[in-house]
Structure 1
């Protein structure tokens, strides 16, 4: 069911009224209307478009979805595309929710593709900052953007925590090469996806703050500046985390190479030690007379040589940290 609200002079005066009554509320110049449509069909979306005179291209973008974060300007209204994000910690995947908004001087219409993004937090933000609604539709839009950007920031923070755990796993005494490699690629994929969502928001918020848009009054400008600051911080944090994941992948490969060198060095050292008794027993196994041939003294001499030479090699390799 569509959700609706009406504000007059900064006070909430109506809620959950039918969509076809939107135009009646907007006849009052002091009225400010919000309409939310979740997974609407084309007929329902067209009804709102007819009520508010929305541009056909903007309606088409909202119906088709899969838009990049942007702010398009049309005659009489603006069209916003944005995404909510949430990190699934177990799988490392980023769950996104697409949301569109038609912005007129007296109305805000949000269109969601599904229930992945709940508007309860937005409504709470509006109720907590009820004194701002008297400054127009910019106040409602600020509440929506503030919740979206806070979600971006929370996702970046969750990714940071996961990468820190990955670093601990990387330098664990027990090798976790496969786990580190798989988790690194999962987190890197989520970071690339998050970057596509967060990076364009700088342009969106910056455009809204321009005076020629007429959406943000002087009273609301500090609030939008705060949102813009959070967008910049989320963007910079995402970029640094992406570089950090690449560093972890490279470090993991380096550690694997070092571990392989150590194993090769140890195997070679043991092979050298084993080669000594093999050579001595092979020498004494010849069918030719030699000192001690056919006597117990020959056996004792060969055993003594094997023990002394093998021990000397072991101590030498151990001193050089090859074993």
Structure 2
């Protein structure tokens, strides 16, 4: 029997009976989304995520060193009008399942159909694509949902053009509030530098939130470790399995990002200035730290699984030890009771006046001596 088969057999019964397909839910979702493109030519505008009722929304931050204007829930025509200004623009688009409107924006800014296909394919790994007129970057944005105590992953596509950054999101709510605050306050370099610095700030915010998610993982694992040491209940093993699945999703988001950030830092990309590459190098260092943390927590989860098995084995050993001691004490007592339970007539003790008291005294003495021997041997 292989190791993988043994792991499946040892999984909690709830996962095997109530959720028999949960082991492969991530892969199943990936294949399901990819199947939407089967048979289609390249560059087709097909959204591969889950359809929702989230409205299509465009918000724009138009800024210079001394001025900032915000525009929310604007139309595509208003967006194209703003694009004609000489300000730096951050265009944030929510609701990319509205494929026609996304296609309209991509066509207006000469975004290649293959890039548009990547924007709408939400189950791909982080990547970077340097085109003639723009730079395309796809990252995975992670947030921790305290209600369901799980990690929520969303693909964010960033398109860097001259004096403009366009971000495409699946739904409302992101990790960019810090960037918005910095733009509104006008402090620091974010409004003084170009759009490539804004791209850096957005990617840096995504990476920084990885540490917040990993911190939640650390807190969960510490609580589980304490419970395992005290009780070692079955639900702790189930939670470890679920955390391990969550860590796989986090790893899929973090590992490929290292290559993306490395290209931003080292490759000769005309949209990234040399002065901005210094800051991107810091993002690269943070990405490496996040990867190290992911690997550390993966090892920690495995060690907690081994610890759980050890605690359960120790509990079982204690139970077996107790039962063995009780059985060992009662073996001679059972023998004595069997001897005096025979059906022969000429047993001398049967005629004694104090034969019954003699029997119980013998039982107590033999049981006490057996228990004393276990005590001296320190088996109890």
TM-score scaled by length of structure 1: 0.90
Q: Select the residue among 135, 145, 160 that pairs with 2:218.
A: 160
Instruction: Summarize deviations over 1:195-251 as a string: whole Å, max 9, x none.
Output: 111111111111111250133333323322222221111110010100110111011
Is there any run of 5+ residues in structure 2 with no aligned partner, and where? 1-56
- Tell me, in whole angstroms, the C-alpha distance in 1 between the residues paired with 2:82 and 2:147: 47
Residue 68 (str. 1) matches residue 121 (str. 2): no
- Computed over aligned residues only, the root mean square deviation of the Cα atoms, in angstroms, reads 2.2
- Tell me, in whole angstroms, the C-alpha distance in 2 between the residues paired with 1:88 and 1:291: 81
What is aligned with 2:354? Answer: 297
Is there any run of 5+ residues in structure 1 with no aligned partner, and where? none
Q: Select the residue among 298, 302, 315 that pairs with 1:242.
A: 298
**Secondary structure at the counterpart of residue 72 of structure 1:** strand
What is aligned with 2:248? Answer: 192
The 3 A distance-change label for structure 1 pair 19 and 131 is: farther
Q: Select the residue among 273, 281, 286 that pairs with 1:225.
A: 281
What is aligned with 1:15? Answer: 70
The CA deviation at 1:300 is 2.6
- Tell me, in whole angstroms, the C-alpha distance in 2 between the residues paired with 1:39 and 1:320: 73
Contact 1:262 1:322 (C-alpha < 8 Å) held by counterparts: no
Q: Select the residue among 306, 315, 334 that pairs with 1:259.
A: 315
Instruction: Summarize deviations over 1:170-194 as a string: whole Å, max 9, x none.
Output: 111xx23212101111111111111
- Tell me, in whole angstroms, the C-alpha distance in 1 between the residues paired with 2:80 and 2:181: 25
- Tell me, in whole angstroms, the C-alpha distance in 1 between the residues paired with 2:184 and 2:377: 71
The 3 A distance-change label for structure 1 pair 152 and 34 is: same
What is aligned with 1:2? Answer: 58
What is aligned with 1:215? Answer: 271
The 3 A distance-change label for structure 1 pair 13 and 157 is: closer
TM-score scaled by length of structure 2: 0.77
Q: Select the residue among 189, 200, 204 that pairs with 1:146.
A: 204
- Tell me, in whole angstroms, the C-alpha distance in 1 between the residues paired with 2:212 and 2:60: 28
The CA deviation at 1:255 is 1.7
Contact 1:78 1:104 (C-alpha < 8 Å) held by counterparts: yes
Q: Select the residue among 116, 131, 139 that pairs with 1:59.
A: 116
Q: Structure 1 stretch 87-96 or stretch 133-142: which is displaced more?
A: 87-96
The CA deviation at 1:134 is 3.3
What is aligned with 2:34? Answer: none
Contact 1:101 1:109 (C-alpha < 8 Å) held by counterparts: yes
The 3 A distance-change label for structure 1 pair 89 and 183 is: farther
The CA deviation at 1:296 is 2.9
The CA deviation at 1:53 is 0.8
The CA deviation at 1:80 is 1.5
The CA deviation at 1:252 is 0.9
**Secondary structure at the counterpart of residue 269 of structure 1:** helix
The 3 A distance-change label for structure 1 pair 42 and 89 is: closer
Q: Structure 1 stretch 244-253 or stretch 112-121: which is displaced more?
A: 112-121
